[in-house]
């Protein structure tokens, strides 16, 4: 009888499940993880530790993954140790921390060394320990940030990467290198001639730039390693170049009279071949991360729209059908989105993303100044940088790919055409 009762009890839910309504709940609200980064312990001079902690907090806040808790609210003893047995986790739980970052910083020759620890507050245990070295506090903090991002996401962090952008002034056009957080600007080139649209080689050393140094727009390559600046032998009026993801080819726009088309060539500028042949304007090629496709802009349909084609020029198809001025495509390293600039019906420029597969467009910026433009992807695909005049003068803004968290990264400084570099080679 007991078996029978069991059978009947099992059968009833099965019968019910067949008629049970089902709904799908998606689009979760991703919330940053509450993280506490108290002052680092220091051996000797405390200033490097103080600066490293400040830079680390800024990095972690910028990446959008974490909510940095205000150190002024911390209840724990400032002299609390690094290891789990010495930590009163209840006090960190009280202030709402899920994660607790501890570090001790000391001088190491000409540079710095740190013992980094990450603790899970609820579990009351250490989950990460790293011994790190770096030449200065900023570099040390960026290394720490990358380690923490990798721990939580399983993906490499971007804080040791760099951005370049063109800074405009009355006297010159400068190619400026920034840390990934938009700080620490260094002028690589200062030219009286126009300088436009830098683009990185995947080796992280070469930067392709459109320069008018020769009296007409041509592609030049700047090398960080030897600070050389050399013209590519394309033999064309060329602009807006982009190296392929494997670094062996480059795509660019070349003009022949009033007609412009998309071309590809070897990375050294040889063997150039035209991919588009319409009489319309075809320009601004951007590689897909697998190097098999190119996004580009064409006005062949009457207004500038985004198109996609195979890397050999075949199967050209229109991607965007909304808006009448879409430009500057940049393919996400993840391959799932293309960021671009578009002018909307209010005549303001904003940043959007479009799926290369479905053509669905999502807006990133809205009512944030009159011009948000020229997006570029972090190599992780988790962040976008673009220029914005929301503070009056174009500055770099870093955003998540949905535009939900945006933060100005540089001072307002007439910046244009930013390009985010690749992961550093270990």
Partner 1 sequence: MSGAGTSALGRPDRLWPMVLASLAAHAAVFSLTGLARPRPALEPGQQPIQARLVRLGEPRPKELLPRKEAPPPPAAEAPAPAPIEAAPAPSPRAVAVPSEQPSPRAAAKPGPAVKPGTPGGARLASVLSDMKQELQAGRADGAADGDASEAGEGDEYLALVVRQLRQGYRLPSTIGDRERLFLTGTLVLHIEADGRVSRYVLTRRSGNPAFDEALERAVRETRLPPPPPPLRDLYRRTGLEVLFKI
Cα separation of 365 and 372, whole Å? Answer: 7
Among 51, 53, 66, 327, binds partner 1 (CB under 8 A): 66
Nearer to partner 1, 8 or 110 (CB): 8
Cα angle for residues 64, 349, 344 (degrees, 5° grid)? 110
Stretch that binds partner 1, among 171-179, 202-210, 306-314, 344-352 (CB under 8 A): 344-352
Asked if 302 is part of the footprint of partner 1 (rule: CB under 8 A), the reply reads no
Question: What is the CB neighbour count within 10 angstroms for residue 150?
Answer: 14
Stretch that binds partner 1, among 128-136, 233-241, 252-260, 359-367 (CB under 8 A): 359-367
Stretch that binds partner 1, among 15-23, 105-113, 247-255, 274-282 (CB under 8 A): 15-23
Q: The tokens of 306 are what?
A: 């985004």
Cα separation of 42 and 318, whole Å? Answer: 58
Closest separation between CB of residue 123 and partner 1, Å?
11
Asked if 5 is part of the footprint of partner 1 (rule: CB under 8 A), the reply reads no
Closest separation between CB of residue 322 and partner 1, Å?
5
Binding mask 103-142 for partner 1 (x = CB under 8 A): ----------------------------------------
Contact yes or no for 308/294 (Cβ under 8 A): yes
Per-residue exposure over 208-222, b if at least 16 CB sit within 10 Å of its own CB, e if not: bbbbbbeeebbbbbb
Closest separation between CB of residue 104 and partner 1, Å?
24
Residue 252 has phi, psi (to 5 degrees) of -155, 170
Among 248, 270, 310, 366, binds partner 1 (CB under 8 A): 366
Contact yes or no for 181/409 (Cβ under 8 A): yes
Closest separation between CB of residue 34 and partner 1, Å?
9
Question: What is the CB neighbour count within 10 angstroms for residue 257?
Answer: 6
Q: The tokens of 277 are what?
A: 């042949």
Half-sphere exposure of 260 (CA within 13 A, CB side): 18
Nearer to partner 1, 94 or 324 (CB): 324
Stretch that binds partner 1, among 14-22, 77-85, 212-220, 225-233 (CB under 8 A): 14-22
Half-sphere exposure of 227 (CA within 13 A, CB side): 7
Asked if 79 is part of the footprint of partner 1 (rule: CB under 8 A), the reply reads no
Q: CA separation (Å) from 24 to 27, 28, 29?
A: 10, 11, 15
- Roughly what angle, to the nearest 10 degrees, separates helices 137-153 and 47-62? 40
Stretch that binds partner 1, among 42-50, 181-189, 248-256, 318-326 (CB under 8 A): 318-326
Q: The tokens of 114 are what?
A: 């740190």
Asked if 68 is part of the footprint of partner 1 (rule: CB under 8 A), the reply reads no
Asked if 11 is part of the footprint of partner 1 (rule: CB under 8 A), the reply reads yes
Nearest to 259 by CA among 274, 280, 241, 238: 280
Pairing of β 173-179 and β 99-108: unpaired
Closest separation between CB of residue 12 and partner 1, Å?
8
Among 38, 48, 64, 198, binds partner 1 (CB under 8 A): 64
- As a dihedral over the C-alpha atoms of residue 324, residue 328, residue 333, residue 337, rounded to 10 degrees, the angle is -10
Among 59, 98, 146, 181, binds partner 1 (CB under 8 A): 98
Asked if 30 is part of the footprint of partner 1 (rule: CB under 8 A), the reply reads yes
Cα separation of 135 and 101, whole Å? Answer: 21
Among 171, 226, 315, 345, binds partner 1 (CB under 8 A): 345
Q: The tokens of 352 are what?
A: 């959007």
Asked if 277 is part of the footprint of partner 1 (rule: CB under 8 A), the reply reads no
Contact yes or no for 106/112 (Cβ under 8 A): yes
Asked if 355 is part of the footprint of partner 1 (rule: CB under 8 A), the reply reads no
Of residues 374-393, those binding partner 1 (CB under 8 A): 381-382
Asked if 78 is part of the footprint of partner 1 (rule: CB under 8 A), the reply reads no
Name the DSSP class of 213: T
Closest separation between CB of residue 11 and partner 1, Å?
6
Q: Which chain residues interact with partner 1 by CB under 8 A?
A: 1, 3-4, 7-8, 11, 13, 15-33, 64-66, 98, 152-155, 321-324, 334, 342, 344-345, 350, 352, 361-363, 366-367, 381-382, 403
């Amino acid at each position: 009888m007991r078996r029978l009762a069991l059978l009947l009890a099992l059968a009833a839910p099965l019968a019910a499940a067949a008629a049970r309504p089902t709904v799908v709940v998606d689009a979760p609200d991703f919330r940053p993880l509450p993280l506490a980064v108290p002052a680092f312990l220091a051996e000797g001079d405390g200033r490097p530790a103080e600066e490293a902690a400040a830079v680390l907090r800024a990095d972690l806040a910028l990446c959008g993954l974490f909510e940095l808790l205000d150190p002024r609210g911390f209840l724990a003893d400032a002299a609390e140790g690094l290891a789990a047995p010495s930590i009163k986790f209840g006090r960190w739980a009280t202030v709402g921390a899920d994660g607790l970052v501890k570090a001790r910083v000391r001088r190491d020759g000409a540079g710095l060394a740190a013992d980094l620890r990450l603790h899970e507050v609820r579990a009351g245990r250490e989950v990460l320990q790293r011994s790190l070295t770096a030449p200065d506090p900023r570099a040390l903090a960026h290394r720490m940030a990358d380690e923490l991002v990798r721990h939580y996401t399983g993906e490499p962090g971007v804080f040791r990467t760099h951005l370049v952008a063109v800074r405009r002034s009355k006297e010159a056009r400068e190619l400026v290198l920034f840390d990934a957080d938009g700080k620490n600007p260094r002028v690589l080139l200062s030219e009286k001639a126009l300088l436009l649209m830098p683009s990185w080689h995947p080796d992280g050393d070469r930067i392709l730039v459109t320069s008018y140094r020769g009296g007409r727009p041509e592609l030049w390559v700047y090398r960080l390693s030897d600070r050389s600046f050399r013209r590519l032998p394309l033999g064309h009026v060329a602009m807006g170049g982009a190296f392929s993801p494997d670094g062996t080819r480059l795509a660019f726009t070349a003009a022949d009279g009033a007609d412009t088309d998309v071309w590809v060539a070897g990375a050294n500028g040889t063997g150039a071949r035209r991919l588009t042949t319409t009489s319309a304007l075809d320009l601004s090629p951007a590689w897909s991360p697998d190097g098999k496709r190119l996004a580009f802009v064409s006005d062949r349909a009457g207004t500038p729209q985004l198109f996609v084609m195979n890397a050999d020029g075949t199967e050209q198809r229109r991607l965007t059908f909304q808006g009448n001025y879409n430009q500057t495509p940049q393919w996400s390293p993840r391959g799932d989105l293309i960021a671009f600039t578009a002018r909307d019906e209010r005549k303001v420029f904003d940043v959007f993303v479009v799926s290369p597969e479905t053509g669905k467009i999502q807006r990133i910026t809205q009512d944030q100044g009159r011009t948000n433009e020229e997006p570029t992807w972090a190599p992780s695909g988790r962040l976008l940088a673009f220029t914005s005049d929301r503070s009056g003068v174009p500055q770099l803004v870093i955003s998540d790919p949905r535009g939900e968290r945006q933060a100005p990264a540089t001072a307002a400084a007439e910046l244009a055409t930013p390009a985010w570099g690749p992961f550093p080679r270990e």
